[in-house]
Structure 1
Amino acid sequence: MVVSDLRFNVVKPSAGATGTGSNLDPKKMRRIIAEDPDWSLNIVPLLKDIALNHIINNFANNPILKGLHPKDKIKVLDRIDTKIPLTVTSHLVEDEGYWKRCCKAKWAVCDVSIYGGSWKQMFFERHLEELIENFVPGKTEDEVVDAAIPLCSKYVKQLNIRQLLPPVSDSPKSDENISDLGSDAGSEAPSMDHFEFGTLLEKLPHLEKFRVSYGVRDCGMNFEWSLFHFTQRDCLLLAKSIKSCKHLKRLCIYKSKVDDEKVRVLISHFLDHPNLTEIDFSHNCIGDRGARAIGKLINNRCPKLRKVDVYDNIIRSEGAKAIAFALTKNTTLQSLNLRLNRLGDEGGQVLCKALLKNNTLKELNVASNELTEPTAAILSQVLQSNTSLTSMNLSGNRIGVDGGKQLQEGMESNKTIVELDLRLTEAGQESEYCINLVLKTNQDNAREAEEAQSKK
């Protein structure tokens, strides 16, 4: 303890205060009074606390946790700096409280429930995502991401890449009079290729979900079509990466202008993937040729495939025929989302006929596909015979009153459908009311069946 700054007043006893033992007057004894009224021997820190403070202040250069008492270890982890290099803390610190402090210090919004309730998983996934999203080809050094992989690999289970930046172009912008269509039709020069995933996915042994968009967020007034260009080289490298990532289960490539040619390249590498259970190509430019490739994928070429989303594309009747044929052969798919395409009645009827043979699909979404009464007529037969479907979305189609009556007729003998979306279909109030009564009965029966199953 440093006492050099303390000053003392010495009070001497009076001349008459002599003698020893009980003859001394305590009020007249020699006393030492500190000028600091708060000074006390109690503030002298314990040697253990001094040692712990030294460990905390020098943790970056000399990390010590092993051998500490559990209570002392908690004290250290509660106070060490969140800016200590990851090379020190990544594999050494497992305490969730420390990684919670790191997350809150770095990001304003932290929803740990998205990351399985693990703050450490959240930190390393978001850290790696930011490195990739801010990577500028030709400008950012490859070592920036390469150095982070050994630190993150054990804790990354999902990646959500919301943007990929293109290389910085030194060439002047094209003439402002060029149309948007013209600006989108440029050649795929290598200079526009994005971050190369290469073997990144393969080096993440616990990665199960991968979501990526080849575009730029918040570009504002700097908008150019070239910022949203998924090149052929991007496509090929990504396809090879996913093929080598055998442990991947869920794949989503969205808002990337994936067209027929590119989706065929991607799917040619996914065929026979051992673990893929969900594939999402939503918000792209996939047409009938691409739908035929998707049909080939559905046709039992991915043994564990359970869900396919291709909503908001340009699939028409010919593409619907390919997907319908695959449904007649498939025995694993449980969910199919074709919302916001252009199937029409020809495509809708083909899909419904396939459902007369398929007995595994549980969820079907064909909302906003220009379906009308002819599709409802065949769908009525599906509702009467199919025993696997539990959810169907027909919203945004002009089913009409007659189509609504046919759906009502099919639902009267249905025992499995618990969700049927008929918003904006003009199916008629009477039919919708009767259908809702059947849905309520099916929901109650399903709930009772689940309760009975849980008691066994």
Structure 2
Amino acid sequence: MSRSRSSRRTGSMRPVNAAADGREMRSVIAEDPEWSLELVPLLTTLCLQHIINHFTEKPILDDLTPDYKAYVLQRLPTSLPLTVSANLISDEGYWKRCCEGRWAVGDVSAYDNSWKRMFFERHLENIIEYFIPDATDTKTILEAVPLCRNFIKRLRVSQLLPPIKESARFDEDDRSDCASDTGSEGPSMDHFDFRMLLDKLPNLVEFDVVYGVKGCGMNFEWNLFEFTFRDCESLAKALNSCKTLQVLRIRRSKVDNEKCCLLVSQLLDHPSLQELDFSHNHIGDRGARAIGKLLTRAQLKRLVVCNNQIRGPGAQALAHALSRNTSLVSLNLRLNRVGDEGGQALAQALVKNGTLVSLHLGGNNLSEPTAVALSQTLVENRTLKNLNLSNNRLGVDGGKVLEEGMSHNGSLVECDIRLTDVSPDTL
């Protein structure tokens, strides 16, 4: 009797316990489907996760073993303050995650395969390109420089924003006072002032800047593309202070004769400048004479002044400097107006010059007299390898003369005479 009651009692209790256990298991599974007693984290993992979660307050990295250090670096958030990560983390995997999380497109091969260099160069470029004079605090630049100064080798600034214009609002009775109040006060700078930056980048070798605005759309105004004289003065001083600079490009910025002369005056004795690109500007003969003076004093290897307003006298000044220059290997004068006056002078300079390898004279209103001069030059010159005369009016006779000169030359490997009206036989 007691046994049966015991059996019944036991039998009646099992379903209750099973149901209770079932409810408990279902509750746990619903909250975390991957939960299992066998997956309790190791104490080491918990410690490393604690380091990751509190890395900003107490960065611990170099004291870890290589395996633990790799574990932490793979899991650190890319949102860490740069004041923490810049000079502490050198792992390329971390900086790759930072770049891919911030920019959709990026070619790391253009940055010596360094993701860290890519991140800091593009980071600084973005700060400059969206800097608004008298609106953006200069501390954004001054605070960023110590963090990125050692990783910046090249800056490509594709736009510079002008100051924000505020429409003048005053009553008729206030007109007499406007000149003495805020009406005469202008912005402290017309665009970003590079004097606060360039001398603080000890590894900068390449600088490319455009004074204009990208994507202005329906808000287009010509003053958005204005390189003022005040801009030019500050930029010239900044360039003079950057002694490591090797490549300088100021393109599509309306650099005229006056601004060109000012910029060149600060580059005459530059110790490291090797390439100068003033293409797509408004430089005329006076600016070309200034550049010619630079050729006689600096050690330039490449000069690009295509799509400017250089005519015969300016080309003659460049030719005079070229005849005495011993460093230049490439000269690009495409889309100017040098004419036969300048073309003949350049051809004669090549008789004396022994270093120039590439000369581009496409689209310069050249005709038969220049072809004759170049033909005579090719007989004597032994260094020129690339000559571009495309889109000129050499004519049938000019083509024949040029062909004769080339038959006595053994160094030229490329000559472009497309759209020059030469005969098919000459081609």
TM-score normalised by structure 2 residue count: 0.87
Task: Find the counterpart in structure 2 of residue 251 from structure 1.
Answer: 248
How far apart, in 1, do the equivalents of 2:187 and 2:411 lie?
53
1:165 aligns with 2:161: yes
> Aligned partners of 2:116 and 2:223: how far apart in 1?
36
Q: Confirm or deny that 1:70 pairs with 2:105.
A: no
CA distance in 2, matches of 1:258, 1:126: 26
Does the 8 Å CA contact 1:192/1:231 hold for their aligned counterparts? no
Instruction: Give the secondary structure class of the aligned counterpart of 1:35.
Output: helix
Q: Counterpart of 1:44? A: 40
AA of the residue aligned to 1:412: S
C-alpha distance in 1, partners of 2:308/2:153? 29
Q: Distance in 1 between matches of 2:352 and 2:281?
A: 30
Q: 2:333 aligns with which of 338, 343, 361?
A: 338
In structure 2, C-alpha distance between the alignment counterparts of 1:50 and 1:227, rounded to whole Å: 55
The residue aligned with 1:407 is 402
Q: Could you say which residue in structure 2 is the equivalent of 1:201?
A: 198
Could you tell me how far apart the structure 2 residues matched to 1:46 and 1:160 are? Answer: 48
Deviation at 1:41, TM superposition (A): 3.5
Equivalent residue for 1:235?
Answer: 232
> 1:112 maps to what in 2?
108
Read off the aligned partner of 2:380 and give its amino acid letter.
S
Q: What is the CA distance between 1:115 and its match in structure 2?
A: 1.1
- Aligned-pair CA distance for 1:191: 6.3
User: AA paired with 1:84?
Assistant: L
Q: Which of 69, 90, 93 pairs up with 2:89?
A: 93
* Aligned equivalents of 1:287, 1:257: Cα separation in 2: 12
Give the Cα separation in 2 of the matches to 1:360 and 1:39. Answer: 75
Q: How does 1:149-164 map to 2 (within 5 A)?
A: 149-164=145-160
**Distance in 2 between residues matched to 1:248 and 1:378, nearest whole Å:** 37
Which is worse superposed, 62-71 or 136-145?
62-71
SS of structure 2 residue aligned to 1:216? coil
Q: Tell me, yes or no, if structure 1 residue 127 matches structure 2 residue 117.
A: no
SS of 1:211's equivalent?
strand
Question: Superposed, which structure 2 residues align to 1:31-430 within 5 Å?
Answer: 35=25, 40-171=36-167, 193-299=190-296, 301-302=297-298, 304-430=299-425
Residue-by-residue CA offset, 1:258-314 (whole Å, 9 max, x unaligned): 000010001011001110000110110000000000110011x11x31111100100
The residue identity in structure 2 corresponding to 1:380 is S
Q: CA RMSD in A?
A: 1.9
* Partner SS, residue 379 of structure 1: helix
Asked if the contact 1:321/1:347 (under 8 Å) is kept, the reply is yes
Q: In structure 2, do the counterparts of structure 1 residues 104 and 413 end up closer, same or farther at CA, with 3 Å as the change threshold?
A: same
Task: Name which of structure 1's ranges 417-426 and 202-211 shifts more when overlaid on structure 2.
Answer: 417-426
For the Cα contact (< 8 Å) 2:335–2:363, is it kept in 1? yes
Per-residue deviation, 1:61: 1.7
Q: Once the two structures are aligned, what percentage of the paired residues are identical?
A: 56
d(CA) in 1 for partners of 2:188, 2:42? 63
CA offset at residue 158 of structure 1?
Answer: 0.4
Shift of 1:392: 1.0
2:163/2:187 contact within 8 Å kept: no
**Structure 1 residue 428: deviation in Å?**
2.1
The alpha-carbon distance between structure 1 residues 203 and 39, as it changes in their structure 2 partners (threshold 3 A), is: closer
Distance, in Å, in 2 between the alignment partners of 1:430 and 1:58 is 77
Q: Is the 8 A contact 1:337 1:366 kept in 2?
A: yes
Inter-partner Cα distance in structure 2 for 1:380 and 1:171 = 62
Task: Name the counterpart of 2:172.
Answer: none
Per the alignment, do residues 190 and 399 of structure 1 end up closer, same or farther by CA in structure 2, a change over 3 Å counting? farther
Aligned pairs, number? 387
- The range that moved more, 419-428 or 147-156, is 419-428
**Counterpart amino acid of 2:166?**
D
| Cα distance, 1:39–1:358 mapped onto 2, change above 3 Å | closer
In the TM superposition, structure 1's runs of 4+ consecutive aligned residues that sit over 6 Å from their partners are none
Q: Displacement of 1:381 after TM fit?
A: 1.0
Q: Distance in 2 between matches of 1:405 and 1:213?
A: 43
Measure how far apart 1:35 and its partner are: 3.4
Q: Is the 8 A contact 1:167 1:191 kept in 2?
A: no
Contact (CA 8 Å) 1:373, 1:402: kept in 2 or not? yes
Structure 1: distance between partners of 2:53 and 2:359: 59
The amino acid of 1:260's aligned partner reads N
Q: Residue 400 of structure 1: CA displacement?
A: 1.6
Does the 8 Å CA contact 1:384/1:414 hold for their aligned counterparts?
Answer: yes
Residue 94 to residue 269, structure 1, CA distance change in 2 (3 Å): same
Partner Cα distance (1:131, 1:191) in 2: 19
The residue aligned with 1:19 is none
CA distance in 1, matches of 2:7, 2:357: 102
Corresponding letter in the other structure for 2:228? T
2:227–2:255 contact (8 Å) kept in structure 1: yes
Q: Distance in 2 between matches of 1:51 and 1:150?
A: 32
